[in-house]
């Protein structure tokens, strides 16, 4: 079996000092970076250590600065399995991220699970063998700020897509990195058991009050605020149909989903999201 072909990493400028990199073959996955005067902050690692290593090398070579921080937006594998390539830098995220990663390391990210994965996708064997899960040492509750000269990058815990979800904001150039709080071009990824749809809506409302020119999502193209406004409007409609269904005693399978311009990446997404939302709002109304 041949190894999977991973396309080379291409650094793309979002603004003068912000970068996005993309792995199109995995649901249009993104990672990012902010280039400050004395160091670089990386945001998520892409999927595999090889990709993360190349991403880091290209950044450091291109900007002649060291990566000093790695911010992990949330605990999903596609955003952090490259973490081993950042062993020597300060890795951080929300405190809940640290808890979620510890739990995953004991439950899902075991040697047995990785062996199983290699059996299912033998072309990934070498990639999987390089994965090493490192638990971040620094966590924050609500907000964290990194300063370099007159610049600062702000990190906020939001907890929508997953309980640990956080985003990064670079006000100087009006760029925001959402992690999977936003996936552009896809029906939203709603069913993570730790996620919170109400916090998610509040996060969108708050982000819309910020001064922003570009939003770098966890998946998909870089967009402006207009996209987020439309997504928020869809989420609100979706919430209302779920609330109405609950009021009328209907189950999740009887809910008619409002129109959205994008399809789900996987078929299970919509039924699972409806079940999750129905359950969440039923409990909330008890």
Residues of the shown chain interacting with Zn ion in the complex, contacts defined by CB under 5 A: 76, 180
Q: Which residues contact 49 (CB under 8 A, 6 or more apart)?
A: 81, 82, 83, 84, 85, 127, 130, 131, 132
Residue 110: CB atoms within 10 Å: 12
Tokens of 192: 């993570």
- Which of residues 76 and 104 has its CB atom nearest to Zn ion in the complex? 76
Residue 217 CB neighbour total at 10 angstroms: 27
Q: Name the token pair of 46.
A: 């892409």
- Sign of the dihedral defined by the CA atoms of residues 235, 99, 220, 124, in that order: negative
* Torsion of the alpha carbons at 8, 188, 98 and 172, rounded to the nearest 10: 70
Nearer to Zn ion (CB atom), residue 80 or residue 255: 80
The nearest distance, CB 191 to Zn ion, in angstroms, is 11
Distance of alpha carbon 258 from the chain centroid: 25
CA neighbor of 164 nearest in space, from 207, 202, 201, 195:
195
Q: Which residues contact 266 (CB under 8 A, 6 or more apart)?
A: none
Nearer to Zn ion, 35 or 189 (CB): 189
Q: Which of 267, 244, 272, 268 is nearest to 256 (CA)?
A: 244
């Amino acid at each position: 079996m041949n190894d999977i072909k991973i396309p080379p990493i291409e650094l793309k400028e979002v603004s003068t000092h912000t970068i996005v990199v993309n792995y199109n073959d995995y649901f249009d996955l993104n990672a990012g970076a902010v280039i400050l005067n004395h160091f670089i902050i990386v945001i998520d690692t892409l999927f595999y250590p090889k990709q993360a290593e190349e991403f880091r090398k290209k950044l450091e070579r291109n900007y002649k600065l060291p990566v000093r921080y790695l911010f992990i937006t949330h605990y999903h594998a596609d955003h952090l399995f490259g973490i081993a390539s950042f062993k020597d830098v300060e890795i951080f995220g929300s405190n809940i991220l640290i808890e979620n990663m510890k739990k995953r390391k004991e439950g899902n990210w075991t040697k047995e699970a990785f062996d199983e994965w290699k059996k299912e996708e033998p072309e990934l064997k070498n990639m999987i063998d390089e994965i090493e899960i490192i638990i971040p040492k620094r966590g924050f509750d609500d907000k964290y700020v990194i300063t370099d000269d007159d610049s600062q990058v702000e990190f906020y815990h939001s907890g929508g897509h997953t309980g640990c979800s956080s985003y990064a904001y670079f006000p100087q150039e009006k760029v925001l990195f959402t992690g999977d709080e936003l996936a552009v071009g896809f029906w939203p990824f709603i069913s993570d058991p730790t996620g919170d749809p109400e916090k998610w809506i509040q996060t969108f409302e708050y982000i819309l009050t910020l001064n922003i020119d570009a939003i770098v999502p966890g998946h998909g193209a870089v967009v402006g605020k207009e996209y987020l406004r439309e997504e928020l409007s869809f989420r609100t409609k979706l919430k209302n149909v779920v609330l109405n269904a609950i009021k009328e005693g209907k189950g999740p399978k009887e809910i008619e989903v409002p129109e959205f311009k994008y399809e789900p990446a996987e078929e299970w997404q919509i039924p699972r999201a409806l079940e999750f939302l129905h359950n969440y709002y039923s409990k909330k109304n008890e």
